[in-house]
Amino acid sequence: MSLPSPIITAFEHSPDKGKGLARDMRVRWALEEVGQSYEVRLVSFRAMKEPEHLALHPFGQIPTYEEGNLALFETGAIVLHIAERHAGLFPDEANARARAIMWMFAALNTVEPPILDRETTRLLESEKPWYEERLRFTENRVRSRLSQLSARLGNAEWLEGVFSAGDLLMVSVLLRLKSSGMLDEYANLAAYVASGEARPAYQRAFAAQLAVFMGQSPAS
Ligand code: GTB
């Protein structure tokens, strides 16, 4: 007997208007990579702060992931769970697997924070008298991380030879910079992100989240 599909949550009305930048995209992509079908429950901003959703996600956010009697929040934990339970996102060899997990943490803990900092500055601080200086400061911090990552990636297609959950999260994080033009300053990082976007699993996940914005079926 096959197990029921996991259920994830996503924005009913994503502020990114279907650009695939909300974090449900990372979970959708992981599920598509491993060939696991899934259902999507769309939630409004108001519903995310109500007790029913808070029971699933104490911080009132998306995405969440429900599979039988398991309920998870935090994208990193969800992608790790999917990668551990299915073939396709982690190498078999123990050390290679540890390195893939290392890159998952690097994406979320080391590369994403300065990118978020820049976004927060642009979104919430543009009226402040010190805005331009702070923006430059945050952009320098992003560039510093990008040049370090670029140096490590070199001419490789993926961070550790074969595509893994580490690449999935790193590409997802870098995609947040796409409209900034900063990625294009690092040809190998731009190519790396393009390789991620070209993956059929990414394309399916992107189409599914775009369909929500276009008012079509939210389920995959
Ligand atoms: N650390 C958590 C995780 O990785 O799962 C962070 C989850 C999170 O930030 N969720 C956001 C959320 O629910 C959506 S993805 N926000 C509502 C709230 O906190 O009340 C972040 C996001 C939102 C919008 C865009 N965008 O418009 O481009 C991009 C990313």
**C-beta 60 within 6 A of ligand 1:** yes
Q: How far is the CA of 44 from the centre of ligand 1 (A)?
A: 13
In whole angstroms, give the CA distance from residue 42 to residue 212: 9
Asked if residue 82 and residue 20 are part of one domain, the reply reads yes
Q: Domain of 174: which CATH number?
A: 1.20.1050.10
Give residue-wise pLDDT tens across range 172-190.
999 999 999 999 999 999 9
Q: Which range marks the domain in which residue 181 is found? A: 94-199
Residue 32 falls inside a structural domain: yes
Q: Which of 2, 16, 26, 4 is nearest to 172 (CA)?
A: 26
Give residue-wise pLDDT tens across range 126-147.
999 999 999 999 999 999 999 9
**C-beta 121 within 6 A of ligand 1:** no
Q: Please give the average per-residue pLDDT across 110-123, as a whole number.
A: 97
- Residue 30: C-alpha distances to residues 23, 42, 82, 149, 214 (Å): 11, 18, 7, 22, 22
Whose Cα sits closest to atom 28 in ligand 1? 16
**C-beta 61 within 6 A of ligand 1:** yes
Residue 35 falls inside a structural domain: yes
Which pLDDT belongs to residue 2?
Answer: 64
Terminal CA-CA length for the chain: 21
The pTM (predicted TM-score) of the whole model is 0.96
Asked if residue 205 and residue 158 are part of one domain, the reply reads no
Tokens of residue 194, six digits: 């393009």
Give residue-wise pLDDT tens across range 71-95.
999 999 999 999 999 999 999 999 9
